[in-house]
């Protein structure tokens, strides 16, 4: 049981290049999330998904796109990278609704992205 995995772990891009970050979870979780973490700003939600084939915007969606074609995978795409997208990106998943309670999020190890 690997939990939440992310690839790649590190990446350096030039301005204008594109890339896709992959998040995979093997816990059969319904909900998946992409965050970016910047110093002093905590975690900011980029996009999230509450099920296969569904996605929704978070706080900071501009410049990013996502897809959830399979329940276990959640992809984050940068079509034209900008230096402002230099950050550490974390994927998280959670079980989803369970009556009136929600389970905690499980986080991946992160991807450190630098855009030059």
Q: Which of 11, 45, 63, 86 binds other proteins (CB under 8 A)?
A: 45
Cβ closest to other proteins, residue 72 vs residue 107: 107
User: Whole-angstrom Cα distance, residue 109 to residue 3?
Assistant: 10
Residue 52 tokens read as 């296969």
d(CA 32, CA 56): 11
Q: Phi and psi (nearest 5°) for 42?
A: 65, -150
**Residue 69 lies near other proteins (rule: CB under 8 A):** no
For residue 41, give every residue at least 6 positions away whose Cβ sits within 8 Å of its Cβ, in sequence order, or none. none
Instruction: Give the binding range for other proteins (CB under 8 A) out of 12-20, 21-29, 34-42, 63-71.
Output: 34-42
Comparing CB distances to other proteins, the nearer of 22 and 43 is 43
Binders of other proteins among 83-102, rule CB under 8 A? 90, 92, 94, 100-102
The residue among 15, 34, 36 whose CA lies nearest residue 80 is 15
State the residues that interact with other proteins by CB under 8 A: 31, 33, 40-43, 45, 48, 50, 56, 58, 90, 92, 94, 100-102, 104-110
């Amino acid at each position: 049981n690997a939990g939440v995995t992310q690839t790649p772990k590190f990446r350096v891009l030039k301005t204008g290049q594109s890339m896709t970050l992959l998040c995979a979870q093997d816990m059969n979780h319904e909900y998946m999330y992409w965050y970016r973490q910047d110093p002093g700003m905590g975690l900011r939600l980029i996009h999230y998904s509450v099920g296969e084939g569904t996605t929704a915007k978070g706080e900071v969606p501009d410049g990013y796109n996502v897809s959830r074609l399979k329940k276990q995978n959640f992809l984050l795409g940068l079509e034209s990278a900008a230096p402002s997208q230099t950050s550490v990106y974390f994927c998280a998943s959670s079980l989803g609704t369970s009556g009136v309670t929600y389970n905690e999020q499980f986080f991946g190890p992160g991807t450190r992205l630098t855009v030059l």
